[in-house]
Every structure is written in structure tokens, then in C-alpha cells.
Amino acid sequence: MQTDKVIRILPLGGLGEIGKNMLLVEYDNDGLIIDSGIMFPENDMLGIDYIIPDYSYIVDRQDELTIHGILITHGHEDHIGAIGHVLSAIPAPVYATALTAGLMEIKMRQAGHADHPLHVFKAGDVLDVGPFSVETFHVCHSIPDAVGFGINTPLGLLVHSGDFKFDHTPVDGWSPDFAKLAEFSQRGVLALMADSTNADHAGWTPSEMIINEAFDSVFQQAEGRIIVATFASLISRIQQVATAALRFNRKMAIAGHSMIEYIKVATRLGYIDLPKDLVISIDQAKKLPPEQVVIMATGTQGEPTAVLGRLAWGRHRQLQIEPGDTVIMSAHPIPGNEELVHRTINKLIQRGAHVIYDPIASVHVSGHASQEELKLLHHLLRPRFFIPVHGELRHLTQHSLLAQTMGMSPENIAVVENGTEILVTSDSLIVGERVPGGYVFVDGTGVGDVGPIVMHDREILARDGFVIAQVLIDETTGDLIETPTILSRGFVFLREASGLIETAQCLIEETIAASQGKDLKTAVENALTRLFYNETKRRPMIFALVSEV
Amino acid sequence: MQTDKVIRILPLGGLGEIGKNMLLVEYDNDGLIIDSGIMFPENDMLGIDYIIPDYSYIVDRQDELTIHGILITHGHEDHIGAIGHVLSAIPAPVYATALTAGLMEIKMRQAGHADHPLHVFKAGDVLDVGPFSVETFHVCHSIPDAVGFGINTPLGLLVHSGDFKFDHTPVDGWSPDFAKLAEFSQRGVLALMADSTNADHAGWTPSEMIINEAFDSVFQQAEGRIIVATFASLISRIQQVATAALRFNRKMAIAGHSMIEYIKVATRLGYIDLPKDLVISIDQAKKLPPEQVVIMATGTQGEPTAVLGRLAWGRHRQLQIEPGDTVIMSAHPIPGNEELVHRTINKLIQRGAHVIYDPIASVHVSGHASQEELKLLHHLLRPRFFIPVHGELRHLTQHSLLAQTMGMSPENIAVVENGTEILVTSDSLIVGERVPGGYVFVDGTGVGDVGPIVMHDREILARDGFVIAQVLIDETTGDLIETPTILSRGFVFLREASGLIETAQCLIEETIAASQGKDLKTAVENALTRLFYNETKRRPMIFALVSEV
């Protein structure tokens, strides 16, 4: 096997979903990147703002490997959020559909890449990305203008589904491009990379249209204001609320900076149609009778600083929940956010709101294909090789099993994690090496400086806090100059622990008297560790600052 | 209204589920307590081991209020886990069924209450608890020997469902006591308190029996070892695995201290029947061919120290996952544990296991009644008043709406949160006052000493760590004696931040030189806060220890 006659596929990203934030496709030292997104931190990644893929492997190889383009499937944060970081290291031209580009421009400007080449294409266009001819095709997802890619390589056609569902009745009327998929199949598909997010869900993901019924029923019954919370990027849902508002003679106000921004971009580019006299300001909404108002809001994940969080905790500047309000949670909790979301719902109820959420009513549907849709994708394309992507390892595994039930042989499927290369030739699929690196934490302006050591310290501090003892010793006599100062946070409630602190001070004095000047620091730290553990069964970080003066 | 002719009902417990951990029923200064459980901390309750109800209101009123008994519905931790704490403050006799009592004895012994009166009753028995005659009745739940209570008061009969489901084909063959419920109804039920956990689930919770089918199918297909993880207390599930093991000629080994303990108690008291030659040790299991082995294990919630967590991370002393193993996750993640559970599944797959979990197969069912069962309960009992309990506010609200769809008028339903009293007379239901107190954090041996201040400090430390600057000043000259010492953890990776630390040291020197001896501590802390925020956009805790020597 000549290694230059091999397509290398390398998924990169966080430790959760595979190939979702970034994917490298490479042939004969020519490469293209699909997506440049961020991952949100898990609950135990303390203090981390977000996570970006570790693309140092690509950067390190820039002498030999040319990246001809960064192709974006759609405008969600986990696909575009890292573009500012990526362009600083890999200044390749960016290709995106109009809405996606509109959302990316803001990010690129903020990161100082306002003048960077950003090519806008329409689904169906063919892009020349270096030596690769890339055929784009429309898919349905929970944001408009999402696409997948057919990448022509000298060895054959690679198809990447992007995040998708097969919605036969999408809100914007723009169905998936089945014809293109069938045409790919006629030409022969070498390898398929496909969304696995819902590979463990039986059946067919319901169409966005079913939301209309649920909205109708809620709008019919609601006697007061209606507040609909959804993702700022879920443009079609906002359109559905607008349509319901028109039908039921309500005016619509928008709350939440990001949602206002998304609507602005989507309106300018024609992805949403909100009649002029439908939309009013929050202040205007407050003057109308409650039964004539619907408010669109952010905050479905229980974020305390988003609109719904502020409403739940009574901290919104302009609005407050009134008894009789109906709140529709038109989103599912992203795994890991369940607790916060449930707490938000309970708080809203506490303030008198009637809260509608799935499973109480079908006010949200997933944007990802379920098993029957995945089977249809496989049958439409009939790929020789299959690489499940976009999902955790458990989802990829299910997607692989699903392909096997349709007759694909296991050796034609490669399930890998981020950072493991897959080598595709015209007649083989091989799992390659793990490349160095993993993912990178971003905390404030620090990119990558928070690693396992800082994280481990934060865990200890979060659990039991710290104690610092300042010990000043007379350098001539070796005696304590003053009673040791004890500083502590996150360990015990100091106002009620004065006895324990005094005991610790006495113990330090005894320890110093007994240690005859030998390694005072360690002696004091050990003595305090024992004391605090015995008294509290807690293990704070303990430091002695011993100075001889 | 004479206040002594009022039944007071007071749910106590954590901030999540209402009346689950503890509930007080009181009439004319005579009281009884139902359950004494703990709540598990949420993800942002840093360092907390568990949470107990704040029963200080009961303790404070012990001169006027006599607690005649503590009645336990079943042996889950959220119903018995706080008994050691409770008995130290409220030494009333305890009433429990045999299995529940067996599990409580261990806790009571550990807490120094080995000799405390613990009355064992059989479901169906009538208990004389002070002036209250309490009729006990069997219910089905995810632990054997669960009961509900019919409490006879001078004003009428109160019925408490406990945690329950209506399983017509329970594994132990012991169906719910429908006859008793019907009889209650004939005599007239003044008020019903009923489990609301699944009040937002349509339909009827499937019987435990459907697990057998899923087990059969997995046991039939598995070619290697089978590892079944479930709750240690889910005795019926362990029985089902034993039965499947017998059917498919596998031996069964048990891994996990708590599960071994539960099986011991359940075996001694006759709640489980494991044939002698079925159960083998882990060491024996390792010598058998894999296809002859099933291992029962703890750790379904992703707990890193339980068996499944150790297996997933390769840290179990005796066992390790081998390619070809099949792992059955026979439990659902408790809300808040989703991330850890999914991570555990991914890690097990990484090690080569085939992992079966809901929704891939029906290997777990809930132990709580869904809407159709709740409707049946309401129709069987036809209570005058209804108090939904056991669930979050959102579940209680749904349960209330469900009762209203069955014709109950809203003023006959009281939805309250923990700490709010409900007053019931023979013809009225009134939401009373909020009593002082809430819930109590237990951290190590500290009960209640970790409050909002310590918790807030832990949050800051978890997010950005701390920095301490030790500044020694010559008391005569006012000059620095030595370069300030900077100690930091959880803020930046010190090995790569030496530049920042040196900048900070220079800044301290400049600040001291400029401040002319006035409030050096504040000046240094403010200067460092600004520096670190500008350089990193992080806000660690900052302290200056300034000593003049």
C-alpha cells in the first residue's frame, strides 16, 4: 500500500462527541477541514468556559500538508464556535451557506479575522476546494441552511451527512435533497460519514410540523401571557411561534440578546418572515393585555443569566413572571443540564407560571435522524465503507450495529474516537494511529493553560477549600514572633469554628516547639492535616508559610 | 375554627422532592413522622456528602408536641438514610417492615442507636401509634416490602401511598393491596397523600416482568461474560438475574459491598431465593469459561468508586472488562447523573464491552406509578382532599392537574413545598405558614456547618482558584524585607506562568512603594485583582498577608 494513495480521515474535538467539532479529510498532502466548533464543558470541568479541538497535529504538519478550505455544515456553536481560534492557526478560506456565514462573520470580526476569505455558497453548489470537488446538498436540521458534503477524491466519493434529519414537512418547506443522495449512489459512494446522535432512538424523528399542533392547543387554552423559550438559533421554531401568534391575535416580543441577533441575521438574509406589525418591544408588550402577548425568550438550558433563568429567579430587568403566565419550554435539556433545567421549571411554577414541557406536550422535537432515517440514508447511498460520526462512542457503536443489521460487514465500518486516524483506500478501511493531543480548555483568555494539574486543584478546593497558616519565626531564637495567622475559605464556617482555629494555632506552636527547627513547613502541614481530618473528616488544601525574620 | 381540631401536615426535606425524606402528621399536639431519609447533593453543591431534612421545627416544639412514632414506608436511602441523625434529636419508636428494619438496623447501630425501639410489622398490620391507629398496606416498588399507611384521626382517615406502582405481575408475586384501598374508600378518605414522581408520564409503568424478556434475549445472544449492574436495593432485579442465570446455565457472582450486604439481609429474611450452587465467588468466576458467568454489580449511576465505575476506568482490584463482555445497565440515570453514566458507558465500550441500556433494550422499568395508575388510585380511594407528595414541584403540579381532570376541585388540592404546613379539617384544606428552616448539608462529620457562605467560597475556588501574596515589611523603615511570596492553586498552571508571577511581585513592590504605608493589604489586593483579571479574564480569590516585623 502506497501511503500517498490513501485518504486519511481524522475526527478531532472534545472527549464527548466524535468528529462533531472538527474533522480533517486528507489525500496526498492536500486537506480540507469540516466544521470548527466548540464543546461545552461538563459539570466537573470546573471554571472552564468552553473546549476547542486540539488541532496542533494539523498545525505541526503545515509544511507538508496544505489545508485548502474549512467547510461548515451549519451555524450551531459546536460547528462554528472555534473559528476564531482555528483561523489564527490555520488561515484557510472558509466555505459556508448564507445564514451560517452571517452568524460566523460576527465571530470572525471579534477574533480579528474580518477580512478573512469567507465564501458563501448555496446548497447544491459545487465547490472547488484545492484538488477536491465538493458537492453540497441541503439537509434538514434544527437551524436553517444546513448542508452535507459529497467530496470527490481520486479514490472515490466521500459523503458527509452533517447533522441532519429527514423532515418531509419542514417549517421552511425546504426538504432534504434526496435526489442528490440517490445520484451519489448511482456514481458509487466510497465512504459515508453520518450523524449518529439519535442512533439509539427507534423510529423516525417527528417533523417540526407536529409542534404546530401543540402550539395551537396551548395558545387556545392560555388565558394570560405566553412565554416561549427555545434555542436562539432555532429560527424555524421562532417562525412557528410567529405564525401561532398571528393566528391567535397576539403580538410577539423578543427577549434575549443572542435571539435578537439571530433573528436580525435571519431576517436580513430571508430565512425568517416576521410581519412588521407583529413584533413589538418588551415595553410595548407590558402595556398590552396579557392575552394579547407572546414573548420569545432564551434560556432553555437553565442558564442563570439567560432570560428564562432571570425570570425564574426574579432577576430580569424588564419582565417578571405573573400568575397566569404560560411558559413553553420548546427545547430538551442537553445531557448534563437536566438539574438546572428542572430547577428553572420548578422556580417558574413557584412564581405562578403554568409550564409546558416535553413529555407534558410535544413542544419540541429533535433535529437529528432516528434509526429509520439512518437506515434510509444508508440505503439511499449504499456506501462501501461507513464511518459513524457526531455522537458519543455509545451512539457510534449503535450506528455501526444498525449498519450491520442492514448487511454491512463489520470490517467495512470504523468506529474511532477523536484523535484516531482512519485510512481509506479504494478497497480497504483501516483504523490508523492515534495522533498526539486531545482537546483544549479555554478559561477566560487562557487557551490550554488549564490542564489536569490546575483542574485537580480546583476539584480539591471545590470539595474542601483551603487553609493557610502564616508562621513567623525569629531567626535568632527560633521562637514564634506572634500567634500564627490562619486564613481559610471553603473549609468551615469561620464564624462558628473559632474553637477549631484556636486549637490549630496551639498545635502549630507545639509543633514548632517540638520540631527543633527541622523542616517546620512539613511538620506544621502534617500536624494540621491530621487535626482537620480528625475533627471534620474533610481534607482541605493545607499550606504553611514559614518565614524566619 | 378551633386550631386543636386541625390536622397539620408538614413535608420536610431537601429543595428537590417534596415530603419524600420526611413528613410530619400532627393532631392536637400528638404527632407521627413518616420516613427519615437523605437527599443526594446536586452537581453544584460542592463537597457535600448528603443532605438531611431540617427537623428543628419539630425539635423546638418537643415540649408541646409528642412524636409517637417514626413510620417508614420502605428501605431506600431517601426514606431511611437520615434515621441516625433523626433519632439523636427525636427519640421516638420506629416502625418498619422486616426488610426495611433489617436495612435500618445497620444504620441505627452505626449511629449508636442499636437499642432504640424498632417495631417490625407486616403489611396489613394495624399499628397503635399514640392516639393514631395506623393501617398498613402493601404496595409494589423497586424494593420489596414497601407499604403505604392509612392513618385514622379523629377528623377522618388520611391515606399515604408511599412510593408505589401498581404492578399486576411483580417478581415476588406480591401484588398491591387493592382490597384495602377499596375498603378505605367505603369508609371515606379525608385526605390522600400520593407519590407524584411519574405524574408527567402518560400511561401505565410497565411491570417488572417485562425485564425478563429483555434478559432472555441478552442472555441468549451473549457469547462472553454478562455483567448486570443495578441498584443494590433492587432485590427483585437480582432475583430476575439469578433466574435467567439458572435458565442459561451460568453461575452468578456478586461484586460490590452494598449489594452483598443487601443480599445478605434479604436472604436471611426470605426476600430473595438464590440457590446455593448458583452463587460463586469472583475468584471462582474468573476460573470459569466466560459464557458460564454472570456478575451482578453496583455502579449504575456512574459513581467512580462503585464496581462498574472501577471496571470502566480499569481500576477494579479483581476484575477487568474483556472484549466480548456484555454489560447490562439495569437502571436509569437519576437526574443529574446523566453525564457520569454516559461517560461510564463510553468507557466500558472503549474497553471492548457490549453495553445494553434503555432505550437499546427494556432492561429497566421505573418503580413509580404513571398517570393511569395514579388515576386508578384516585378512583379507588375517592379522597375528599388531595395533597400530592414525592416529586418536584413540577410533578406535584401535574398530579394536581391530573386530579382536576378527574373532577376534583382545585380548592380541595394543596400543592406546597417542603416546610409549608397544610391544615386539614373535616371540611376544609388550607395552606398554612412556612415554618423556619430548610435543609441541612452534611459534609464529613459536619452537620449544618457548611452554609451559603462556605458554599459560595467553594464556587469561586472551583471556578478560578486562589492567590495569596505574603508581604513582609520592615516595621521601622516600611520597606519590603524580601520579594513577596506568591502562593496559588487552581488559577493558572504555575510552571508556565512564571512571567505573570514575576509581574505580580513587581506590582506588589510598586504598590507598597506608592502607598506610603496606608492600608497596604487592600492596596495590594486591589492591584493584584486588576492585574490578574486584565491578563487572564479570571477572578481568583486574592489575599494579601501583610506583616510588619
ipTM of the complex: 0.92
Which pLDDT score is estimated for B3?
52
B244 lies in a domain?
yes
Whether B172 and B55 share a structural domain: yes
Mean pLDDT in consecutive groups of 10 residues from the start of chain A, 549 residues: 77 89 97 97 92 95 96 97 97 98 95 97 98 98 97 98 97 95 97 98 96 96 97 95 97 96 96 95 97 98 96 96 97 93 97 95 96 98 98 98 97 97 97 89 92 94 97 90 95 91 96 86 96 96 94
Pick B458's closest partner by Cβ from A201, A357, A465: A465
> Which of B391, B418, B447 is where one domain is finished?
B447
Which pLDDT score is estimated for A549?
85
Pick A545's closest partner by Cβ from B459, B466, B485: B485
Contact A457 B465 (CB under 8 A): yes
Residue A127 phi/psi, 5° resolution? -105, 135
The answer to whether B200 is a known catalytic residue is: no
Helix (H, G, I), strand (E, B) or coil at A11: strand
Q: Which of residues 216-235 of A touch B (CB under 8 A)?
A: none
Residues of B in contact with A549 (CB under 8 A): 472, 481, 549
B1 lies in a domain?
no
Q: Which of residues 38-67 of B touch A (CB under 8 A)?
A: 42-44, 46-47
> Which of these is catalytic: B68, B85, B354, B368?
B368
Whether B117 and B31 share a structural domain: yes
Q: What is the mean pLDDT of residues B320-329?
A: 97
Q: What is the mean pLDDT of residues B198-219?
A: 96
Supply the DSSP string of A115-150, one letter for each residue.
TS-EEEE-TT-EEEETTEEEEEEEEB-SSSSEEEEE
Contact A466 B462 (CB under 8 A): no
The C-alpha atoms of residue B104 and residue B20 are separated, in whole angstroms, by 17
Structural domain of B522: 465-548
CATH number for the domain that contains residue B483: 3.10.20.580
Residue A529 touches chain B, beta carbons under 8 Å: no
B124 lies in a domain?
yes
CATH number for the domain that contains residue B312: 3.40.50.10710
Edge-to-edge strand ranges of the sheet holding B293-297:
B279-280, B251-255, B293-297, B226-229, B326-329, B354-356
Segment B158-195, tens digit of pLDDT = 999 999 999 999 999 999 999 999 999 999 999 999 99
B413 lies in a domain?
yes
Q: Tell me if A204 sits within 8 A of A377, measured CB to CB.
A: no
Cβ contacts of B527 within 8 Å, gap of 6 or more: B507, B508, B511
> Which of these is catalytic: A368, A378, A390, A399?
A368
> Which of A384, A419, A447 is where one domain is finished?
A447
Confidence of residue B436 (pLDDT cuts 50, 70, 90): confident
Whether B215 and B323 share a structural domain: yes
B456 lies in a domain?
no
Whether A259 and A396 share a structural domain: no
B298 lies in a domain?
yes
Average pLDDT, chain B: 95
Residue B395 touches chain A, beta carbons under 8 Å: no
CATH number for the domain that contains residue B196: 3.60.15.10
Which pLDDT score is estimated for B1?
43
Whether B216 and B198 share a structural domain: no
Which pLDDT score is estimated for B478?
85
Residues of B in contact with A484 (CB under 8 A): none
Residue B541 touches chain A, beta carbons under 8 Å: yes
Pick A202's closest partner by Cβ from B359, B457, B464: B359
Supply the DSSP string of B295-334, one letter for each residue.
EEE--TT--TTSHHHHHHTT--SS----TT-EEEE-SPPP
Helix (H, G, I), strand (E, B) or coil at A203: coil
| Position B473 pLDDT exceeds 50 | yes
Residue A499 touches chain B, beta carbons under 8 Å: no
The C-alpha atoms of residue A72 and residue A22 are separated, in whole angstroms, by 9
Whether B199 and B214 share a structural domain: no
Whether A342 and A374 share a structural domain: no
**For chain B, the helix, strand and coil percentages under 3-state DSSP, each to the nearest 5:** 35, 25, 40
A460 lies in a domain?
no
Whether B511 and B416 share a structural domain: no
Strand partners for B71: B34, B95
Q: Running DSSP on this structure, what letter comes out for residue B3?
A: G
> Which of B306, B337, B357 is where one domain is finished?
B357
Residue A124 touches chain B, beta carbons under 8 Å: no
Confidence of residue B4 (pLDDT cuts 50, 70, 90): low
Q: CA of A85 to nearest chain B CA: how many angstroms apart?
A: 16
Pick A468's closest partner by Cβ from B357, B360, B468: B468
Pick B445's closest partner by Cβ from A393, A461, A537: A537
The answer to whether A79 is a known catalytic residue is: no
Residue B363 touches chain A, beta carbons under 8 Å: no
C-alpha cell at B290: 466466560
Pick B549's closest partner by Cβ from A47, A392, A481: A481
Whether A266 and A328 share a structural domain: yes
Which pLDDT score is estimated for A495?
86
Whether A272 and A334 share a structural domain: yes
Residue B380 phi/psi, 5° resolution? -65, -40
In which residue are the cell numbers 519590603 written? B480
A453 lies in a domain?
no
Which pLDDT score is estimated for A13?
87
In which residue are the cell numbers 441523625 written? B85
Contact B491 A342 (CB under 8 A): no
Q: Which of residues 436-475 of A touch B (CB under 8 A)?
A: 443-446, 449-451, 453-454, 457-459, 461-466, 468, 470, 472
Whether A227 and A187 share a structural domain: no
> Which of these is catalytic: B177, B195, B325, B443?
B195
How crowded is residue B348: how many other Cβ atoms within 10 Å of its Cβ? Answer: 25
Q: Per the structure, how many domains does chain B have?
A: 3
Residues of A in contact with B463 (CB under 8 A): 46-47, 458
| Positive/negative CA dihedral, B489, B491, B496, B500 | negative
Whether B190 and B284 share a structural domain: no
How many interchain CB pairs under 8 A, A with B?
194
Helix axes B98-110, B257-268, angle to 10 degrees: 130
> Which of these is catalytic: A35, A54, A163, A195?
A195
Q: In chain A, what's the furthest Cα-to-Cα distance?
A: 92
C-alpha cell at A240: 412557528
